[in-house]
C-alpha cells in the first residue's frame, strides 16, 4: 500500500499549495479521506499513512468499517458525509465525530434526540443545496435563514458550519460560484445564529474541485478518488 501513502502525500501537498496561493494557512484546511469505494483494509492503510479523518457516504459502511478489527488500534475520527435517514441516526451518532449532511430540521431533531440518549454532544454541519440540482439534498438558502436562529432549540448538537456539493456539470467556474455562495451564506448566518453557534466550518470540495473550494474558504475537503489512484483494490465485502 505504498501507493496509498504516496497519494496521500500528494493530496496534502496540493492542499497546502492551494491554501498558500489563497493567502491562507494550510493548517486551516482539514482533509477528510473518503473511503466509500474501498474495504476496511485499504481504508485502514490510509489511516496508518496519516489520514485521521475518514468519511463514508453510507451509514451501513461507516458502521461496518468502524467496527472492523482493522481499526481496533487506530486513532480514526469517522465522518458521515452522505445522506442520512432518520432510522439510521442512533447508531451513526454513536460512531461519528462529525455529521456533514444534516439536510432538514427533522433530521437535526432526530440527531439531537439520539445524542441526548447516548449522553454525548454531536457535532454537525448543515447541508445546503447551492447548485439547485434536484438530485441533491440540502436546505435552500432561504430556508436556512429562517432555521438557523432556532438552533438553540437543539441542545445536544453543536452546529459547526455548512456543507455543500458542487453542481454536477463538472465546470470549475460553476463549482467556484457554488462554493462562494456557501461562504457568503455562512457569513450572513453568523449574524443571526444563536449565541455560541459560530459556524466556522465550510465542508466543500472533492477530488475534482477541492483546490477551488480552498480558494473560496473551505475548511474541510472531502477527497476520495485522488487518494486511490493506481491502488490495486480488493473487492469489497
* pLDDT digit string, tens, across residues 28-84: 999 999 999 899 999 999 999 999 999 999 999 999 999 999 999 999 999 999 999
pLDDT at 237: 44
In a domain, 234, yes or no: no
In a domain, 205, yes or no: yes
Q: Are 176 and 139 in contact (CB under 8 A)?
A: no
pLDDT at 170: 76
What is the CATH number for 42?
3.20.20.10
> Which residue's entry shows cell 487506530?
74
- The residues, ordered by sequence, that sit 6+ positions from 14 with a Cβ below 8 Å of its Cβ are 210, 211
In a domain, 236, yes or no: no
DSSP readout, 101-128?
EE-SHHHHHHHHHHHHHHT--EEEEEEB
In a domain, 80, yes or no: yes
pLDDT at 236: 58
In a domain, 81, yes or no: yes
* pLDDT digit string, tens, across residues 198-209: 999 999 999 999
pLDDT at 233: 79
**Range(s) of the domain holding residue 29:** 2-228
- The residues, ordered by sequence, that sit 6+ positions from 16 with a Cβ below 8 Å of its Cβ are 26
In a domain, 62, yes or no: yes
Split into its structural domains, the chain has a count of 1
In a domain, 223, yes or no: yes
Give the residue ranges of the chain where pLDDT is below 50: 237
In a domain, 138, yes or no: yes
Amino acid at each position: 500500500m505504498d501507493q496509498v501513502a504516496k497519494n496521500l502525500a500528494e493530496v496534502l501537498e496540493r492542499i497546502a499549495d492551494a491554501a498558500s496561493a489563497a493567502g491562507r494557512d494550510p493548517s486551516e484546511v482539514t482533509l477528510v479521506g473518503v473511503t466509500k469505494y474501498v474495504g476496511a483494509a485499504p481504508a485502514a492503510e490510509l489511516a496508518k499513512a496519516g489520514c485521521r479523518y475518514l468519511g463514508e457516504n453510507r451509514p451501513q459502511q461507516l458502521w461496518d468499517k468502524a467496527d472492523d478489527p482493522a481499526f481496533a488500534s487506530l486513532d480514526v475520527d469517522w465522518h458521515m458525509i452522505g445522506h442520512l435517514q432518520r432510522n439510521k441516526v442512533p447508531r451513526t451518532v454513536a460512531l461519528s465525530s462529525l455529521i456533514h449532511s444534516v439536510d432538514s430540521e427533522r433530521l437535526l431533531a432526530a440527531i439531537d434526540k439520539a445524542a441526548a440518549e447516548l449522553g454525548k454532544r454531536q457535532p454537525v454541519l448543515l447541508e445546503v443545496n447551492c447548485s439547485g440540482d434536484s438530485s441533491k439534498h440540502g436546505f435552500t438558502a432561504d430556508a436556512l435563514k429562517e432555521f438557523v436562529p432556532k438552533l438553540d432549540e437543539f441542545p445536544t448538537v453543536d452546529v459547526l458550519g455548512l456543507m455543500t456539493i458542487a453542481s454536477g456539470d463538472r465546470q470549475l467556474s460553476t463549482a467556484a460560484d457554488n462554493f462562494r455562495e456557501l461562504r457568503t451564506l455562512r457569513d450572513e448566518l453568523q449574524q443571526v445564529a444563536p449565541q455560541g453557534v459560530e459556524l466556522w466550518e465550510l465542508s466543500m470540495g472533492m477530488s475534482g474541485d477541492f483546490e477551488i473550494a480552498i480558494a473560496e474558504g473551505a475548511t474541510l475537503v472531502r477527497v476520495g478518488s485522488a487518494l486511490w489512484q493506481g491502488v490495486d483494490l480488493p473487492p469489497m465485502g
